[in-house]
Amino acid sequence: MARLSEDQWQAAKAEYEVRGISLGDVAKKFGVNVSSVSRRAKSEGWIQGQMQELAARKVAAVKEIAAVEMQTQELPLRMRHTLQTVVQERLQAEGMLASLDIALADRAIALAMEATCPDDIETLSRARKNLAPSVHAPAPQTTVTVTQQTEAKAGAAADAVSAPVAAPTPDSVVRAVLAGNLSGDDD
């Protein structure tokens, strides 16, 4: 019979406590004697199926969140934005906003990694601005007046304007989206 590592013992305990399988089935699954599993379970105080209720509650919560998301998607954009603001305010008041921000950041990173062209990146930028528009006052406008330019400077400026711009990397886009710094959606 095999000797289990600490990770394997933790997996065996999870099978027993979360799935609720018998000690005999745990022993078969991990290729050890039932007496070894029984000894370990007794010494560590394993309780068969103790996590099954928690698993059922988590499944129910995920289903409820999915149902709420479906209802939310049917609302007009302004209504969705206001709803999201209220949810964020309430979560922040309860001290839960940090974990929500981490989950949203993880999702933003996953979406940015899937972006294959500049249009995908622009879509991400627009989505971020629609979901969380800036609450800061708009930046003051700057006026630039050009009075005269030599031909050499004009040619160099034309070359600079017509040069192709390198596509941003997914990492830079994620950072810009999370910081709210992507531009091009100001209309």
Band the pLDDT of 7: cuts 50, 70, 90.
very high
Q: Which residues contact 14 (CB under 8 A, 6 or more apart)?
A: 51
Task: Report the interhelical angle of 97-114 vs 170-179 (nearest 10°).
Answer: 150
- Cα 179 to the center of its chain, rounded Å: 15
CA distance 187 to 183: 10
Higher pLDDT, 167 or 59: 59
Whether the model clears a pTM of 0.85, i.e. scores above it, the answer is no
Query: Both 2 and 67 in a single domain?
Result: yes
**Nearest-10 Cα torsion for 82, 86, 88, 89:** 130
Pair of tokens at residue 4: 């289990």
Query: Both 83 and 66 in a single domain?
Result: no
Query: To the nearest whole number, what is the mean pLDDT of the chain?
Result: 75
- Identify the pLDDT of residue 167: 55
Q: How do residues 111-129 score in pLDDT, each as one tens digit?
A: 766 766 777 666 766 665 5
Query: Both 38 and 88 in a single domain?
Result: no
Query: Both 115 and 173 in a single domain?
Result: yes
**Does residue 117 belong to any structural domain of this protein?**
yes
Query: Both 40 and 58 in a single domain?
Result: yes
- The beta-strand segments (E) located in the chain are none
Query: Both 57 and 114 in a single domain?
Result: no
Q: How do residues 23-57 score in pLDDT, each as one tens digit?
A: 999 999 999 999 999 999 999 999 999 999 999 99
- Tell me which residue range forms the domain holding 108: 77-132+169-182
The number of folded domains in the chain is 2
Query: Both 1 and 65 in a single domain?
Result: yes
Q: How do residues 44-103 score in pLDDT, each as one tens digit?
A: 999 999 999 999 999 999 899 899 989 988 999 989 899 988 888 887 887 776 666 666
**Does residue 87 belong to any structural domain of this protein?**
yes
Query: Both 41 and 20 in a single domain?
Result: yes
Query: Both 54 and 6 in a single domain?
Result: yes
**Does residue 147 belong to any structural domain of this protein?**
no
